[in-house]
């Protein structure tokens, strides 16, 4: 009974309200403690990526830096944004990844920069990563893991007290680890990712980006993964929502944040919706690919008839037109840094 009272008191005294969304959460670690940890972590990443850092004078670095500065400037009314010195580090790596530490250190890989089609998608991605830092998601997740581990230890101790056998303890710990992983850690991580998508869209809207580009980015990623033959991981096994679910959530939020964007005195957007353009482009490319396959089949048919039955018939390779065209539709900022830099000034 006493233990339950102590635990209840602990939970109640460590409840916190997350910025922007106002969601109630458990926060064991203070912001100051996590800032100290972020500084150490940042130094470690700087050392790890030292030989891969893209120079600050590189146009690609300047594009990312300008977008981050614009996001910070347009969202300076949020204390968690204005109180952080945002710094950009571009890593020359094909990894499609980016992350932001709680102390404002932005790490983006050139692979991610090449995956976005325009400055609007880049703004959304950076807004998403900045949202993680602004919302204190890393501290929140570490706090919850700390509490769950503590409760797990109590449970394992109780099992050991009832049945003190090493084999049972090992089995119980393995089962408990898997249950925590799939029933708590990964679902909670997906929840935070979805929240970062929402807050990132809000930050991007206030920065005058076209928020309709957010769902298009995840559609591109889904098709890109399919074309590269990457295995599809069930969502319940992943720390992130599926691309399709992210598209659905963002599509639902777009009208709300288009209104927010308009209220921020942003320039009017083109009437053409990039989501409709992308969908139509995919249909056109798929039809073109089917036509190519049909023509290839007609050309191969006479050749196949002339072969003897013992010949080794192999299927013609799949035309690369669809993959090339779709992946090319994600215009590479590496090749178009000048255009992106110009867009930053005109569209945002």
DSSP class of residue 14? T
Closest residue by Cα to residue 130 from 180, 166, 78? 78
Torsion sign (Cα): 17, 106, 63, 112? negative
Options 65, 129, 193, 195, the catalytic residue: 129
User: Which residue's entry shows tokens 């919850």?
Assistant: 144
Check: CB of residue 129 under 8 Å from CB of residue 112. Answer: no
Taking the CA atoms of 36, 39, 45 and 47 in sequence, report the sign of the dihedral they define.
negative
CA 196 from centre of chain: 8
Q: Which two tokens stand for residue 240?
A: 């992130």
Quote the strand ranges of the chain, DSSP E.
Answer: 15-17, 24-26, 87-91, 98-100, 105-109
Concerning whether 129 is annotated as a catalytic residue, the answer is yes
Beta strand extents in 237-278 (DSSP E only): none
Radius of gyration of the chain (CA): 25
Paired tokens of 285: 């490319």
- State the catalytic residues: 129
């Amino acid at each position: 009974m006493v233990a339950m009272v102590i635990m209840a008191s602990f939970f109640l005294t460590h409840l916190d309200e997350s910025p922007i969304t106002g969601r109630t959460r458990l926060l064991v670690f203070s912001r100051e403690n996590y800032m100290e940890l972020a500084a150490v972590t940042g130094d470690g990443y700087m050392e790890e990526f030292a030989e891969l850092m893209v120079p600050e004078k590189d146009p690609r670095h300047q594009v990312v830096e300008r977008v981050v500065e614009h996001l910070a400037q347009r969202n300076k009314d949020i204390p968690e944004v204005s109180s952080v010195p945002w710094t950009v580090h571009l890593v020359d790596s094909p990894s499609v990844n980016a992350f932001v530490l709680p102390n404002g250190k932005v790490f983006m890989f050139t692979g991610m920069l090449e995956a976005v089609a325009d400055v609007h998608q880049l703004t959304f991605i950076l807004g998403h990563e900045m949202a993680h830092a602004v919302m204190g998601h890393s501290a929140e997740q570490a706090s919850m893991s700390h509490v769950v581990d503590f409760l797990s230890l109590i449970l394992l101790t109780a099992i050991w007290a009832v049945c003190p056998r090493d084999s049972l303890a090992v089995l119980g710990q393995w089962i408990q680890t898997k249950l925590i992983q799939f029933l708590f850690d990964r679902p909670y991580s997906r929840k935070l990712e979805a929240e970062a998508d929402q807050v990132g869209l809000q930050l991007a809207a206030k920065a005058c980006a076209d928020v309709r580009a957010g769902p298009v980015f995840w559609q591109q990623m889904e098709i890109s993964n399919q074309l590269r033959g990457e295995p599809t991981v069930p969502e319940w096994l992943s720390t992130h929502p599926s691309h399709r679910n992210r598209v659905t959530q963002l599509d639902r939020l777009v009208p709300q944040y288009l209104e927010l964007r308009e209220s921020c005195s942003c320039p009017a957007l083109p009437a053409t919706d990039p989501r409709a353009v992308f969908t139509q482009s995919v249909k056109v490319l798929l039809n073109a690919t089917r036509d190519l396959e049909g023509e290839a089949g007609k050309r191969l048919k006479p050749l196949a008839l002339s072969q003897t039955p013992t010949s080794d018939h192999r299927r013609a390779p799949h035309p690369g037109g669809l993959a090339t065209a779709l992946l090319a539709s994600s215009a590479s900022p590496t090749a178009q840094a000048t255009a992106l830099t110009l867009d930053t000034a005109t569209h945002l």
